A and B are shown apart, each in its own frame.
Chain A
Amino acid sequence: MFDRHYYKSLSRSMVLTVFLVSLTPLALVSAITSYQFHTSYKDRVQAHLRELVLKHKRNIDGFLAEKLAVVRVLADIIPEGRFRDPAALQAILKSLQERHHGAFVDMGLVDADGVQVAYAGPLRLERARYAETRWFREAMRHDLYVSDVFLGLRGSPHFIVAVRVRASGAEWILRATVDFESFNELVESVAVGQTGLAYIVNNQGEFQTRPRREAAVGPAEMRGILLRAAGAETRGDFSPESAAAGIRAAQSSVALDVIHEPAGGKDVLLLTAPLKDGAWTLVYQQDEADAYASLYHARNLSLFAILAGGVGILLMAVLVANRMVNRIVEADRERDMMNDQVIEAGKLASVGELAAGIAHEINNPLAIMLEEAGWVLDLLDDESLRGHESHPEMVRALKQIRQQGGRCRDITHKLLSFARKIDPTVKPVQVNDIVRDMAALSEQRAHLANVRVSVDLAPDLPEVPASPSELQQVLVNLINNAIDALERGGELKVSTRLDGGFVRLDVADNGMGIPKANMARIFDPFYTTKPVGKGTGLGLSICYGIVRKMGGEISVDSVLNQGTVFHIRLPIGEARA
């Protein structure tokens, strides 16, 4: 439980580290470049829009100035009387219309009382009275005047260019009406992208052109913007000269605002430039998203790239971390197994030492006890004692002591053989030879137990580096065990085989088998299922120790009441030279 937790947190921290280390520079670089790109691109777009607006401001101012100049030139050079003549006025208008692509709709001469005394144009406006109109009052106060756009008497939007003329001792006003449509076209042509929109408003925020779409800001807000943008803009006389001056000075007069449009929830770029000496304002609006479309496109693209890269890095990090952690798990498991084996070997060694110590300490007293018992038996041999009625019983008891002492001696001797190192010299050993020898050696005992011993040896078996005496001991132990397992007789088969880089040695019997419960303990020292006095429980531990020492493996397969097979695999290579 702890382990799984540990590996999980290990994997997690590896993923996190790889992910952060790889992604941080990527994110940092993209953030820096995208910021740089962002600002420079915005600057460029804004500069472009300023230029555009400025150009159109010049065009419009130029247009107005030109119309104004034309009318003034007419007023300057043509005697006032000519204007009174409807035919002459008609001819002038015709010429104007031809030279100015129909920009001029009509012309008229208005006297100081606001009465139009002469008129040329499509409407019947002779004797029209303008005394009360705003444009007339304004025109009377200035030499030149361009009115706001208004519906006028005709009911269609237009504006008036008016020139004050002083002739015949009175002031006259020469007025021409400029077609709104062509002017509107001029402004409308200012359009960039999908949401670019240009229009002209006057100081009151009233539209002077007809925007194709609804403007981003209402008249009230527009007034605020205009006030802020125009500042203390002087409302001077608009004239071709002031227009030229304005065009020259207009370089910095384009103001840029970013307005949050509450209705659409969008941010809108609003560029404003004063026209007509500040009486009008050219407004250009464009949605930020539209103006910076390619910027946002690039940003989305790079965001996607970072996201995809991040996902890729994450996947790789998870993959790599999993692989690494799996290796670590594997290594840990191997280490644990090695530890187990070391512990097993250490257990065997310490048990061996203990056994040797105990055996040695017991052996001497045992020898004395047996000698004493023997001595008493010797004494009882005397003629004088033989007649005693208890004599046979005493002899029996002493013999019993001697017999049991003998059993103890057997046990201590086996203990000592468990601990002792029989000739451990390793040399190339032909396993087949040893199997043959040991099988022959066991023949007698097997015969008594009614066991048939057979060998099945692979020809051309390579030699293995081993100690012959140790190998003999292993075989003797296994064969004896097998014979013990065949209580009522049976078959015992020893076979050898080449198995990869190993020589495999199987000792199989068809005896009673080993119960599952005992399987785990059969290699433990002193573990035995034999009756008391029959086995020491050391045989298999000795085998285990020897085989492991040789770098081999020993395992067992057993089916209850069908038999048991001990497998030994001994490495062919110079495992333990």
Chain B
Amino acid sequence: MSGNGVRERASGVRVLLVDDEAGFLETLKKRLARRGLEAETAGSGEAALEVLARVPEIDVVLLDVKMPGMDGIEALQRIKAARPLVEVILLTGHATLEGAVDGMRLGAFDYLMKPCEMDDLLAKVFEAKARKAELEGRVAGAGGTP
């Protein structure tokens, strides 16, 4: 826990956690909150899309690949379609690397293997947020609209 450094970087980063395991979601949310990250949770792909529609400030989505109903890859495509600038980090519970690679090809920022270290997770989230910020800046500059 790098204490304040993390907290500073975390401020203003809004995260959406998508996983069908409620226990995992809750704990991760609490841990992220402790590090200053505000996290929303969704138990499924559909729920994630709803949350995204409801909370437009979300920067990074942590998306479980294997879920009942709509799976991570499909959810990723729909998220990217709805909110192209939102960065998605895939969480794979099993090593379906193809899934991860497919996800990367479809626009995911990166992938993490479950279970993952909190430090790795945070690092990835901050990278994603930084990229999003950069892209947003570029879009704003190019498009001319504030």
State yes or no: do A and B come from one complex.
yes
Residues of A within 8 A of B (CB): 356, 359-360, 363-364, 366-368, 370-372, 374-375, 378, 381, 405, 409, 413, 416-417, 420-422
Chain A residues lying within 8 Å of B118, measured Cβ to Cβ, are 374
CB of B81 within 8 A of chain A?
no
Write the chain B residue with the least CB distance to A359: B94
* Those of B108-138 within 8 Å (CB) of chain A: 113-116, 118
Q: Which of B24, B66, B95, B96 contacts A371 (CB 8 A)?
A: B24
Write the chain B residue with the least CB distance to A414: B95
In the complex, the answer to whether A364 meets B24 with C-beta atoms within 8 Å is yes
CB of B85 within 8 A of chain A?
no
In the complex, the answer to whether B31 meets A374 with C-beta atoms within 8 Å is yes
**Interchain CA distance A4-B116 in the complex, whole Å:** 60
In the complex, the answer to whether B93 meets A367 with C-beta atoms within 8 Å is yes
In the complex, the answer to whether B93 meets A368 with C-beta atoms within 8 Å is no
In the complex, the answer to whether B93 meets A364 with C-beta atoms within 8 Å is yes
Write the chain B residue with the least CB distance to A422: B97
Distance between B86 CB and nearest chain A CB, rounded to angstroms: 23
Distance between B87 CB and nearest chain A CB, rounded to angstroms: 21
Q: When A363-B114, A367-B24, A367-B114 are in contact, do A375 and B30 touch as well, CB less than 8 Å?
A: yes
Distance between B62 CB and nearest chain A CB, rounded to angstroms: 12
In the complex, the answer to whether A371 meets B94 with C-beta atoms within 8 Å is no
In the complex, the answer to whether A364 meets B27 with C-beta atoms within 8 Å is no
CB of B21 within 8 A of chain A?
yes
Q: When A378-B1, A416-B95 are in contact, do A363 and B115 touch as well, CB less than 8 Å?
A: yes
In the complex, the answer to whether B95 meets A417 with C-beta atoms within 8 Å is yes
* Those of B71-97 within 8 Å (CB) of chain A: 93-97
What is the interface of chain A mostly: helix, strand, loop, or mixed?
A: helix
CB of B28 within 8 A of chain A?
yes
Q: Which of A356, A372, A378, A422 contacts B94 (CB 8 A)?
A: A356
In the complex, the answer to whether B115 meets A371 with C-beta atoms within 8 Å is yes
In the complex, the answer to whether A416 meets B94 with C-beta atoms within 8 Å is yes
Chain B residues lying within 8 Å of A409, measured Cβ to Cβ, are 113, 115
In the complex, the answer to whether A368 meets B24 with C-beta atoms within 8 Å is yes
CB of B23 within 8 A of chain A?
yes
In the complex, the answer to whether A371 meets B1 with C-beta atoms within 8 Å is no
**Interchain CA distance A364-B34 in the complex, whole Å:** 22
Chain B residues lying within 8 Å of A367, measured Cβ to Cβ, are 21, 24, 93, 114-116
Q: Which of A372, A378, A421 contacts B34 (CB 8 A)?
A: A378
Distance between B107 CB and nearest chain A CB, rounded to angstroms: 21
Q: When A368-B21, A378-B34, A413-B113 are in contact, do A363 and B27 touch as well, CB less than 8 Å?
A: no
**Interchain CA distance A363-B34 in the complex, whole Å:** 24
Chain B residues lying within 8 Å of A378, measured Cβ to Cβ, are 1, 30-31, 34
Chain B residues lying within 8 Å of A371, measured Cβ to Cβ, are 24, 27-28, 31, 115
Residue from the set B28, B66, B114 with the largest chain A CB neighbour count within 10 Å? B114
Chain B residues lying within 8 Å of A421, measured Cβ to Cβ, are 98
Chain B residues lying within 8 Å of A413, measured Cβ to Cβ, are 95, 113
Across chains A and B, which 6 residue pairs bring their CB atoms closest together, nearest first?
Answer: A416-B95, A367-B115, A360-B94, A371-B27, A370-B115, A367-B114
**Interchain CA distance A199-B73 in the complex, whole Å:** 125
Q: Can you name 13 extra interface pairs (CB under 8 A) apart from A364-B21, A366-B115? A: A359-B94, A367-B93, A367-B116, A368-B21, A368-B24, A371-B27, A371-B28, A371-B31, A372-B23, A375-B30, A375-B31, A416-B94, A416-B95
**Interchain CA distance A409-B96 in the complex, whole Å:** 15
In the complex, the answer to whether A368 meets B23 with C-beta atoms within 8 Å is yes
**Interchain CA distance A177-B31 in the complex, whole Å:** 161
> What mask results when residues 3 to 41 of chain B are scored 1 for a CB within 8 Å of chain A, else 0?
000000000000000000101100110110010000000
In the complex, the answer to whether B95 meets A364 with C-beta atoms within 8 Å is no
Write the chain B residue with the least CB distance to A402: B117
Chain B residues lying within 8 Å of A374, measured Cβ to Cβ, are 27, 31, 118
In the complex, the answer to whether A420 meets B96 with C-beta atoms within 8 Å is yes
Chain B residues lying within 8 Å of A364, measured Cβ to Cβ, are 21, 24, 93, 114
Q: When A364-B24, A375-B30, A381-B1 are in contact, do A405 and B94 touch as well, CB less than 8 Å?
A: no
Could you show 23 A-B contacts with beta carbons less than 8 Å apart? A356-B94, A359-B94, A359-B95, A360-B66, A363-B93, A363-B115, A364-B114, A366-B115, A367-B24, A367-B115, A368-B24, A370-B115, A371-B24, A371-B115, A372-B23, A374-B31, A375-B27, A378-B1, A378-B30, A409-B115, A416-B94, A416-B95, A420-B98
Write the chain A residue with the least CB distance to B97: A420
